[in-house]
Structure 1
Amino acid sequence: MKAIQLTNGFGLEELTMTELDKPTPGPKEVLIRMRAASLNYRDLMVLSGVMPVDIKFPFIPLSDGAGEVVAVGQGVTRIHVGNRVAGNLQQRFLAGNPRAEVLADSLGGPLNGVAAEYVVLHEDGVVPIPDHLTYEEASTLPIAALTAWSMLIEYGGLQAGDTVLLQGTGGVSIFGLQFSLMTGARVIITSSSNAKLERAKALGAWQTINYSEVPDWDQKALELTDGGVDHVLDVGGAATMVKSINALRTGGTLSMVGFLSGLTIPEYDVTSILQKAATVRGSQVGNRDHFEKMNRAIAHHRLHPVIDRVFPLDRIGEAFALLAEGKQYFGKIVVQI
């Protein structure tokens, strides 16, 4: 079978197409013919050696993928041959709150990922995908969609009439827009591109802010809402967290879901968190129970993920270059397998 591997070390230049033996499922395992995979910033950080995960070379990257079950091992009961499935990022995170022992086994680092024609996963680590989605669309669900769903719906308790502030127009933010609208919430979305903001409006955003033109976007959010937003999905990290907290209403919730601008905030004064009685929650994506509930909602509402571009697997380097550039895509980047 064909697979993409990091062969000898970190770096996009180390990605190579290789031929490997087709794996065989063991007890309680399923063999999946992968059809598509989507790229996440997490993957880029793993490939670059920035994210501290203990991977072994040669290493197969990518955390998110979807395909068809073509064989099952002894004792498999949850999943059947012919099922269309996606893998859960944390293979043993089935329900409940995050625990260190279940977060360790993550696809695409430290576990091998899904950038291969065939992948073997434990039956507990896969989830059937909605029937109306293509494999390309379904490949975007495990991290970007589930992060937005878990932070807003499962942990954030998003309700109709709430206001959500979303940063940028990448995968998590666009899913956040779609899920917020699904629940009857209104959305403010930020970007440095007016063209992207117009696309966000077309998808249903209530208000938009160009942060290049309005650097104090937190103050603008306060003005628009007469007191602050209920939820913020913060994908920026170090450069955006302070303003994200400022944009909250008293009692609002900040979900830290990314670190595009860095990880360290020097000498931060926590007074604003205390004064606003804010909830600040870090994201570890979501469990399998969340994934299954999200998929039921996606199926009921016939929601379609937003995909910017699809690349063949042998052009995965170009796909990662687009992801690394950061500003030239809207939604998700996908590779066909």
Structure 2
Amino acid sequence: MAILNYTSISHTVFILVGIPGLEDQHLWISIPFLISYLTAIIGNSLLIYIIVTERTLHEPMYLFLSMLAAADIVFSTTAVPKSLSIFWFKAGEISLGGCITQLFFIHATYVTESGLLLVMAFDRYIAICYPLRYSMILTNLVTGNIGLAVLLRSIIIIFPIIFLLTRLTFCRSNILPHTCCEHFGLAKCACGDIRANIWYGVFVLSTTIALDLILIAISYGLLLRAVFHIPSRNARQKALNTCGSHVCVIALFYVPGIFTILTQRFGHHIPPHVHILLANMCALAPPMLNPIIYGVKTKQIRDRLVHVLFPRQK
């Protein structure tokens, strides 16, 4: 009888409320969302175009960067337009299938970006520690296969979340206090046992994001050790400069996420809307700032961008 009752009230439509407690400020909050989204789409599209059309940039470092830019576009497009529809039109309704699809792409893209940052750290390690063998180790075929492996890892490890969610019966509130769907937020609406969801979420976090960060730290530790053994000061400076933009992107990707996790774990006195705003800032900032960071710090990209935007008159 209990199963029948659960089935009869199971929700198939959910309501995303945006930023709970700040509903009257949604129109103003939408402005930075829109600016960050347009900046991310335009900036990353330009970055991909420059890398694809400039033959001198057909190197592993820039090919991985173009993959990161494509992931940023997918991530932003999956999350932000729905948020804007909530802010502007109060269109927070989303089907169960639509919610699961959205969270799948958000989580898979996030894991993909983490994997690409790890691969880019490995690329810098090879370029600085084994410069003479760099082109032999990271051929275009190997670069493509690595990118494919990063994508497949993300899909394979996030895909089980679909089955973990579809097995649940959603008989509690269908109100989701967020701007987009995410795994734990949706699982909390279920009336059944969600321990499998919780433990699998911990498994995903520890075997992807946390492991990638540890491997990046190890890679840069070995890299820095090699750099500081270079006798020439100018050569050391040049080697460190090649890593500058990547280190900025790594910090932008991981530090806000770690801060958000800590505030959610220990900041129980912090209002819920602050947690959601922090989570959105972590999601919006990297796609918007990544192309700017690489455009400013990478001379080849900067020069090509100037040529694209301000072509010389014949």
TM-score by length of 2: 0.25
Higher relative contact order (Cα pairs below 8 Å, separated by 6+ residues): 2
Higher helix share: 2
Higher strand share: 1
TM-score by length of 1: 0.23
